[in-house]
Amino acid sequence: MQTPDIRIVLVSPSHPGNIGAAARAMKNMDLSCLVLVNPRQFPHAEASARASGADDVLRAARVVPALRQALAGCGYVLATTARERDQYFRVLDVREAAARLVAECARAPAAVVFGAERSGLSNDELEMAHALVRIPASPAYASLNLAMAVQLVAYELYRARGAAAPVSAPLAAPLATTEELERLYAHFHEVLEQIDFRDRTHSGTHLMARIRRLLQRAEPDQNEVNILRGILTAVQNRRRPAGGEPR
C-alpha cells in the first residue's frame, strides 16, 4: 500500500543520478510522493537510468522553486542532517522519526527534507522543520550519500508502517501548516518592530531565528497558532491611536 501522505523533498540536488536512485529507494519502500526543489538538472537520462523500475515515481515528481512551496499544506516536517547541530533543535534518531511520521501522516501530509550533496540544508531551511533527523553513522565520516540517506529513511518508514497499530481517533487539532507558521512568524516580526523590541541576542541578528526554533520545537497546532496571532493583533490594536482602523 502506498502512502502519498509522506513527502520526500530533495532540496537542490546536483546529481541527477541521486534523484533517480532516491526515486527507486522510495518505490522499493512504498513511497510515491517526491518533490524536487530547484534541481540542477531534471529531467535527465541519468536520473531515469538510476530510477530503473521506479520511473513512475520520477515522472510524478513535482518540481518547485523553493522549499516553502514543497511544504505547502504539510503538518509535521522533519529535516535530515549529518551534522551536529546546536541545542535549539530537537534531534530524532531515524527510527523514532519514522514512527512519528507514520503517526502524523494520518492527520495531515508530513514531509522529510534532504539537503544538497555538498552543502546540506541551510539554517533557514532547517528552521522550517519541527525537528531534525540524524542517521547514526561513524563520527569519523557521518555524511552519507544523498540517495542512501533517502533509502534508510524510506526503509525505516516501511518498517514503521508495518508495525503501526491501526490509527485510532485523530489527535485533537491538526498541526499548524507551514504556511500558517510562516504567517505567524511574519506577524511576530511585524509586532516586534512596532513595539521597538530590540534584538539583544549575542550577534544582534538571531532573535527571529530563536523565536522560530522555540515555536517549531513546540509543534503548535492550528488553535494554538490562532491564540498567538490573536495576542499579537491585540498588541497591535493597543498601540493604534484612538480612531485607528482595527485590523
Interface residues with ligand SAH (CB under 6 A) are 80-83, 114-115, 117, 120-121, 133-135, 137, 142-144, 146, 149
The secondary element (H helix, E strand) that includes residue 92 is: strand 91-93
Instruction: Output 75 or 120, the one with its CB closest to ligand SAH.
Output: 120
Instruction: Output 105 or 121, the one with its CB closest to ligand SAH.
Output: 121
For the bound state, the minimum distance from the C-beta of residue 225 to ligand SAH, rounded and expressed in Å, comes to 27
* Closest by Cα among 177, 91, 157 to 126: 91
Joined together, the cell numbers standing for residue 182 give 510562516
For the bound state, the minimum distance from the C-beta of residue 159 to ligand SAH, rounded and expressed in Å, comes to 17
For the bound state, the minimum distance from the C-beta of residue 99 to ligand SAH, rounded and expressed in Å, comes to 16
Instruction: Output 40 or 134, the one with its CB closest to ligand SAH.
Output: 134
By beta-carbon distance, which residue lies closest to ligand SAH? 120
**What angle (nearest 5°) sits at the alpha carbon of residue 129, between those of residues 133 and 225?**
140
Instruction: Output 94 or 176, the one with its CB closest to ligand SAH.
Output: 94
For the bound state, the minimum distance from the C-beta of residue 11 to ligand SAH, rounded and expressed in Å, comes to 8
Say how far apart CA 38 and CA 71 lie, in whole Å. 14
For the bound state, the minimum distance from the C-beta of residue 204 to ligand SAH, rounded and expressed in Å, comes to 26
* Closest by Cα among 33, 76, 79 to 57: 33
Joined together, the cell numbers standing for residue 67 give 522549499
Say how far apart CA 183 and CA 244 lie, in whole Å. 23
Helix (H, G, I), strand (E, B) or coil at 11: strand
The secondary element (H helix, E strand) that includes residue 78 is: strand 77-80
Say how far apart CA 24 and CA 51 lie, in whole Å. 5
For the bound state, the minimum distance from the C-beta of residue 244 to ligand SAH, rounded and expressed in Å, comes to 47
Instruction: Output 39 or 220, the one with its CB closest to ligand SAH.
Output: 39
Compute the Cα dihedral for 98, 103, 3, 223 and give only its sign. Answer: negative
For the bound state, the minimum distance from the C-beta of residue 82 to ligand SAH, rounded and expressed in Å, comes to 3
Compute the Cα dihedral for 44, 45, 48, 49 and give only its sign. Answer: negative
Instruction: Output 58 or 135, the one with its CB closest to ligand SAH.
Output: 135
Cβ contacts of 205 within 8 Å, gap of 6 or more: 199
Instruction: Output 103 or 142, the one with its CB closest to ligand SAH.
Output: 142
